[in-house]
Structure 1
Amino acid sequence: MTELKRNNNTANTGRRISFFIIVFLLLLTVVLGKLFSIQIINSYKYQLAAKKQYESKISLKPTRGLILDRKLNALISNVNSFSFAADPNMVDNKDSVAELFSRVFQKDKSYYLDKLNTNNTSFVWLERRVESTYEQQLQNLNLSGVIKLNESHRTYNYNELGTQVIGSTDIDNNGISGIEMECNDMLEGKEGYVVMQKDGLGRKRPAIEYPRLEPQNGNNVVLTLDMNVQKVVEEELKQGVTINDAEGGKCVVMSVKTGEVLGMNSVINNIEKGDVRPDLYKLAFLTDLYEPGSTFKVVSAAASLEEGLENKNDVIQTYGGEYQLYDNVSIKDSHKSSNMSFQQVIEQSSNIGMIQVAQKLGKERFYKYARDFGFGISTGIDLPGEMRGYLKKPVDFSAVSLGFMAIGYELMVTAIQMANAYSCIANDGLLMKPYVIKKEMAPDGTVIKEHHPTPIRNVVSKTTAKTLTELFVGAVEKGTGTEAKIENMKIAGKTGTSQKLIEGEYSKRSYTSSFIGYFPADDPQIVIAVIIDAPRSGEYYGGRVAAPIFRKIAERIIAITGVMDITHPEYDENNADIKLANNKLIENPDKDKINIIDFEISDAIRLLKENNIDYEIDGAKKNAIVTDQQIVYGDNSSIKKIKLSTKSITEQGNERLKQNAPVYMPEVKGMSVRKCIKMLSMMGIEYKINGFGRVTDQEPEAGAKLTKNQQVVINCISN
């Protein structure tokens, strides 16, 4: 019996041992399997996880390039400041870090905890560009996972001088306006990096076994601006706007022979110090559209001289100072003369006389010259946000359009377009492309890319330009622009005064006053355009408001910098760059003559086929308008192909409405319904069609000014 119990105990013990051995082996298998998974199968994953606990990659920011004026004065600099960031994976005590930053920066503790608890990242910003007082409180900061970084931000070296053109950057030093945005790729440089490791005390140190990639600093950008000229422009424009109690003003100063912009600015009146409204920094001289009034007479005057329709002594009927343009539309002059010479029409700025000139010219030729001067299309200036303006096609003209457009109404322009048109006359009829970026330079001063004067087209002959300059001199010497006269300096220029369109009606109390001139008239070097918006001091004529501002700017430019030396050698007519540009234009005189922007696509295709020119169309191919063209040249400088951008007629009409240009009812009687609908759609006019066939009646009549969203009624009858 005893022997039997002993055998049973031995058997039980053996089973227990076997069980424990089996369990042990199973556990060992699991452990070995896990180790195999960790060390072999998923080793890379766990290595990365381990590295995240003690390693992180920190970006090294490049130094942003400088922006310089033409004399290499730095307009903007980089200023260092401190920022604080953290690697959430390395912060041992997130609560204490959040508590410290909350106390120093007076923010909720939860604000920092949310940042520190961010998942799947090894870098979060805690505070950026901290003020020196805060930085001192955290000077001896030694918290695990918290990083103190040296960041740079931009500061203007001349305070607010030139800031509209220079532009600005966001907190990450990316350009968001002006040259900072236009040249961001040149200025920003390329980031580098360094790998940091956590030591035994939790401090971050560079890992010596990893390579360090140094950042590449940004390139410098040299502008055509002259800060002496810019200072004069900003001071005199601001003073002029204040004296005239105007809503605002714009000024552009350009080199006649090169198209370089020497200074430009816009002003809004009654701005409190510290105001940061976005419109204070916009490039209003490129973006704001206005009806120019009499300064636009340059188009009809130049065209009529070029076409041989007028000379300065021709007599033009002015109807005693009042002229019936249409049934209920009359034009008045301040002068009651029955007739004037062409020269007097320019000098005294006769609206009636210029309308007679334009009517003799005709709408097709008027439109051609207006486009050739650069209206209704972008100048191509190297700044962001330029508007094309608004110039209707002859097919869109109402019975009164030609007359009103001849004196600067029913169209919209920008200050840079007007300055460039007058610069064309001053430059013997050669239109130049305006530009602001002179060159791109490496940090060591090596020139990477240099921009040169670019001719666009010969608009009128040298003879026409010289004759018109003589007439503009007369306008200053004895006409409406006498306030622009400067002793011992011959000025050529033209005044402009236009009523502002307010809620669909032309105001009799709000005006745009302007003067555009150039000097010396015998050998023009500089053109200045001054536009004053809504002067309220009592005076509103361009000759009394804008001309004195022009004179003050011109006098100071002459006194400070001289004229011929201001941009030496670029202003030298014999400069190689200018001669090269002119030679290229002479060698290929027809290169810009084909201009089919605003053509209906069917007409554009027909014209191109007649001239055996290949084309590509990007956009709508039926019932469309050509909105842009790109000429592709062959090896021998002949036109190889033209790439056309198009928009549907309806879409184009809607865009025109958005520009808030005045809309007048066109003459559609006698048209087919199809042609009538196309015209109204192009103009953005809503309509109701009664019947079919040909138009027999319309409501309202041609020439009537249309209000926003007004629906016109078209009655038709079949033949």
Structure 2
Amino acid sequence: MTFYRSTNNRQINSKRRTNLFLLLFIAFFLAVLSKLFVLQILDSEIYRTAAKKQYHSKVILNASRGLIFDKNMNLLVSNTTKVSIAADPNMIDKPDSVAGLLAYIFGKDKQEYLDKLSGKNTSFIYLERKVDLQSVKGLDTMSIEGLIVLKDPSRNYNYGQIGSKILGLIDIENKGRSGLELEYNDDLSGKDGYIVMQKDGRGNKRPDLEYPRKDPLKGNNLVLTVDVDIQKFAEEELESGVVNYNASGGKVLVVSVKTGEILALASYPTYDPNNLKISDTAGFKNSVLTDIYEPGSVFKIVTAAGLIEEHLLDRNSIVQTEGGTFDVSGIKVKDSHGFNSMSFEEIIEQSSNIGVMKIARKLGPEKFYKYARDFGFGIYSGLDLPGENKGYLKRPVDFSSESLEFLAIGYQVMVNAVQLSMAYSAVANDGVLMKPYIVKKIIDPAGNPVKEFYPQRLRQVIQQSTSKELNSFFIGVVQRGTGRAANIENVTIAGKTGTSQRIVDGKYSSGSHNSTFIGYFPAEDPQILITVILDDPKSGEFYGGRVAAPIFRNIAQRIIDYKGVSNLSQPDIITFKNNEQTTEDVKYTAGNLIAIPNLRNLKLDDAVEILKEKKLKYEVIKDDTMQRSLKSASPDNVIVVVDQQPDINESVEYDEKLIIKLITRNCKPDKNEQIKVPDVINLSLRRAINRLIVEGFKVEIVGSGEVITQIPKANTEQKPGTKVILFCRNSD
């Protein structure tokens, strides 16, 4: 009986174990089934995407940056290909060996590479950036899993340090960092493309044809106003002057008087962008724009211009100059010469501080401030380069008891080299202040114009008669006064000297100076202006007329030798090389060409003025076959240019027989209709005004330079004679 019960229990236990195993198996099966359902149904897209990522990758195709040319189409900046070395630290089996190999190839410390390869929390790290292709020829990346060699676009600055302050630099990511590379980065950058790569079973990558390829778009090219030969003259003579006079640095600016074009811009110390060194950092900034200083006697232009314009003095007016010593609010002022009295003209020629201080009182604070402001001091010049410091100009309400006198001789005011240059250019240009610019046009990779920039007249600062009088004063400075070292045989030079004490340890130092000379030529028909500033010369000489004027003379002489005296007053001609010049992006042919400006829809008087500025001959042809209806509030007819020959922006060969034909119509007023306001945003102020007047609108201007906003808005219908307010870029 007992035996039977034991056997029965064993059978029951065995059955229970079988049932338990069966239940466990069913549970396991359901769990697997559930997991498969999640993986294959619910999360299928996630894992499908992850799988694609393992076998597909997008490779960026870098766009080539645009090229940069000087005004004569000399190639200043081109593209080159460098190489970058990268790695996936997780894939490197023998980091010590790899680090040793890289240290041997690049001549660096092995530990530097080991430190980078130790970062296992990343799958991509750069080991070297932008190295020459030649240097990696000994590196066999195919045998080192996890090591990657990438092509990396870079820049080649074809003239080395020449023009480096203008051109600027790019950063490691091929983006603009300074200069034109930064200012026009969007135009130069282009657009990157991409290609999708597929990895096969052996790990080799190849393009996946199922995915579209997007080719990169090259950036647009810049054509500058700069002449690389004149730029070279400026940099070489500036460096020589800095060395000869033991100065800490210096600046030179060369400007086309009639147009505001920058022909050269240089500062020292400088650098070679192709071979940057840690010690070069002091030379990276463009001190022509970034540095401001108390200019000294070159600021006397404000007082002299104001007094002549207001008819408060004439050139022969006699001023008591106190024997060379004068007290201003307890501050003793001395002239380097001790005249008891001087004429107004002699005060400017000999740069008498006492004389200018005394005659400035006739002008008064309000008018002095007005003329200083109108000449462009205390406001941005608008030059299309980054980093400009607009300086500081006191308002009359902030004047102290001696401010007017010291402002008149260039103290208690801070200016930059561009502001000074454009102020003197205004005197040379019949009193008209021009906007400085350094990019002439933007062209696409095929050479077609994208955007062109034209001379912009900001305002008439002084009358033509005043400018002529000042011009004669400045000729006297060079022929009889403090600027005699600037004289050049057979070419009449006009100019002004300036010397100011620098502040050292919080006070003016008699042993530290800024030395300036600004001059232009030929004085009978000014074309080219040169500003030279030396920082803290220590050779024993420090007066602007003795250290800056000789540098001016050397640069001017080289420009005259280069262009020829008879060609100084010729129109701005694009001179191509005698042979055909080809780059990977642009092709140009030989010939002497000049770009014809757009004169359509301008009033005839304004069109003629532009042609006269460019020294181009013209013929006016009246078209009476069709009278154009001009919706104008003015009762007077307006003669408008409706067509021109040669055509707008057409490049034609220049010679003395070239005649621009202007086809004009007499536009009659019609007050009965409402008319659409034209879109003048981004136009120069002159073109905006002309377009609005031609269409029958009145104009109110806020600021100067390029139009950025207009009221009423473009394309809204308004009555003839409605006032359109233009807000310009340099509004204050």
TM-based fold match above 0.5: yes
Q: Which residue of structure 2 aligns with residue 248 of structure 1?
A: 249
User: Quick one: distance in 2 between partners of 1:643 and 1:498?
Assistant: 33
Q: Supply the distance in 1 between the matched residues of 2:299 and 2:709 (Cα, whole angstroms).
A: 29
Using the alignment, how far apart are the partners of 1:78 and 1:517 within structure 2?
38
Counterparts of residues 73-84 of structure 1 (less than 5 Å): 73-84=74-85
Task: Let me know the Cα RMSD of the aligned residues.
Answer: 3.2
Structure 2 residue aligned with 1:658:
none
Report whether the alignment pairs 1:113 with 2:117.
yes
* SS across alignment from 1:352: helix
Evaluate the alpha carbon distance shift between residue 554 and residue 6 of structure 1 in structure 2; reply closer, same or farther with a 3 A threshold: same
| Conserved 8 A contact 1:81-1:150 | yes
- What letter corresponds to residue 104 of structure 1 in structure 2? L
* Matches of 2:545 and 2:282, distance apart in 1: 28
Q: How far apart are the structure 2 equivalents of 1:61 and 1:432?
A: 39
| Shift of residue 94, structure 1, vs aligned partner | 2.5
Give the letter for the 2:22 counterpart: I
Name the residue aligned to 2:126.
125
What is the CA-CA distance between 1:402 and the residue it aligns to?
0.6
Matched, 1:290 2:293: yes
Query: CA–CA distance in 2 between the matches of 1:591 and 1:482?
Result: 45
Aligned to 1:233: 234
Aligned mates of 1:594, 1:112 — CA distance in 2: 54
Q: Which amino acid aligns with 2:502?
A: K
Distance 1:584 1:295, change over 3 A: farther
Pairing 1:564–2:569 present = yes
Post-superposition shift, 1:247? 1.5
How far does residue 75 in structure 1 lie from its aligned partner after superposition? 1.1
Residue-by-residue CA offset, 1:494-543 (whole Å, 9 max, x unaligned): 11111222223222122211110111111111111011111111211111
CA distance in 1, matches of 2:700, 2:98: 69
Q: Name the TM-score, length of structure 2 as normaliser.
A: 0.77
Cα deviation, residue 304, structure 1: 0.7
Between the aligned partners of 1:555 and 1:638, the Cα distance in structure 2 is: 48
Change (3 A) 1:592 1:359: farther
Letter matched to residue 639 of structure 1: I
Over 3 Å counting, the alpha-carbon distance change for 1:307 and 1:554 in structure 2 is same
| CA distance in 1: counterparts of 2:158 and 2:270, whole angstroms | 24
Distance 1:124 1:204, change over 3 A: farther
**Distance (Å, rounded) in 1 between the aligned partners of 2:271 and 2:139:** 42
Q: Is the 8 A contact 1:457 1:585 kept in 2?
A: no
Give the whole-Å Cα distance in 1 for the aligned partners of 2:77 and 2:400: 51
Number of the residue aligned with 1:354: 356
**Which of 84, 93, 96 is 1:95 aligned to?**
93
Structure 1 residues 583-592 or 428-437, which shifts more?
Answer: 583-592
Cα gap change, 1:504 to 1:231, in 2 (>3 Å): same
| Matching of residues 88-487 of structure 1 within 5 Å | 93-96=91-94, 99-105=97-103, 106-108=109-111, 110-115=114-119, 117-119=120-122, 123-132=124-133, 134-139=135-140, 141-268=142-269, 276-326=279-329, 328-487=330-489
Partners of 1:450 and 1:247 in 2: how far apart? 38
Secondary structure of the equivalent of 1:137? coil
1:294-325, CA deviations, whole angstroms, 9 ceiling, x for partnerless residues?
Answer: 11111110111111111212222222222222
State how far apart, in whole Å, the 1-side matches of 2:149 and 2:278 are: 32
Query: Post-superposition shift, 1:131?
Result: 4.3
**C-alpha deviation, 1:275, in angstroms:** 5.8
State the SS of the aligned residue for 1:180: helix
Matched position secondary structure for 1:524? coil
Aligned-pair distance for 1:38? 0.5
Say whether 1:36 aligns with 2:54.
Answer: no
CA distance in 1, matches of 2:217, 2:560: 42
Q: Give me the whole-angstrom Cα distance separating, in 2, the residues matched to 1:263 and 1:153.
A: 25
CA contact (8 A) 2:247 2:537 kept: yes
Q: Are the aligned partners of 2:271 and 2:284 in contact in 1 as well (CA < 8 Å)?
A: no
**Distance apart, 1:170 and its partner CA:** 1.4
Q: Given the alignment of the two structures, is residue 639 of structure 1 paired with residue 644 of structure 2, yes or no?
A: no
- Deviation string, structure 1 residues 614-667 (Cα, Å, up to 9, x no partner): xxxxxxxxxxxxxxx988554756437799999xxxxxxxxxxxxxxxxxxxxx
CA apart distance, 1:173? 1.1
Distance 2:38 2:341 in 1: 103
Q: Offset of 1:86 from its aligned partner?
A: 4.2
Taking structure 1 as reference, are residues 199 and 112 closer, same or farther at Cα in structure 2, changes over 3 Å only? farther
Secondary structure (helix, strand or coil) at the match of 1:214 reads coil
Tell me which amino acid in the other structure corresponds to 1:30: A
CA 408–551 in structure 1, closer or farther in 2 if over 3 Å, else same: same
In 1, are the aligned partners of 2:162 and 2:235 still within 8 Å (CA)? yes
Question: 1:515 aligns to what SS in structure 2?
Answer: strand
User: Distance in 2 between the 1:173 and 1:149 partners?
Assistant: 14
The aligned length equals 606
1:458 deviation in Å?
0.8
Q: For residue 50 of structure 2, what is the aligned residue in structure 1?
A: 49
Letter of the 1:362 counterpart: G
1:434 CA drift (Å) = 0.8
Closer, same or farther in 2 for the Cα pair 1:451/1:75, shift >3 Å? same
1:21 Cα shift? 2.7
CA contact (8 A) 1:70 1:438 kept: yes
Do 2:271 and 2:280's aligned partners in 1 also have CA atoms closer than 8 Å?
no
Query: Residue 519 of structure 1 corresponds to which residue in structure 2?
Result: 521
Report the Cα distance in structure 2 between the residues aligned to 1:445 and 1:416, rounded to whole angstroms: 31
In structure 2, do the counterparts of structure 1 residues 61 and 233 end up closer, same or farther at CA, with 3 Å as the change threshold?
same
Provide closer, same or farther for how the CA distance between residues 127 and 216 of structure 1 changes in structure 2, counting only shifts above 3 A.
same
**How far off is 1:274 after superposition?**
5.1
Deviation at 1:449, TM superposition (A): 1.1
Deviations 1:378-409 (A, max 9, x none): 11111111001111111111111111111111
1:304-353 deviation digits (Å, cap 9, x = unpaired): 11111112122222222222222x22322233332222111111111122
Cα distance, 1:188–1:448 mapped onto 2, change above 3 Å: same
CA deviations 1:112-144 (Å, max 9, x no partner) are: 4345x335x6x4434322345641221452444
The 1:165/1:250 distance shift into structure 2, 3 A limit, reads same
Query: For the residues of structure 2 that align with 1:273 and 1:16, how far apart are their CA atoms?
Result: 81
Structure 1 residues 589 and 233, CA gap change in structure 2 (3 angstroms): farther
Q: 1:114 to 1:196 in 2, by over 3 A?
A: farther
Change (3 A) 1:480 1:592: farther
Partner secondary structure for residue 279 of structure 2:
coil
| Paired residue secondary structure (1:229) | helix
Distance 1:645 1:515, change over 3 A: closer
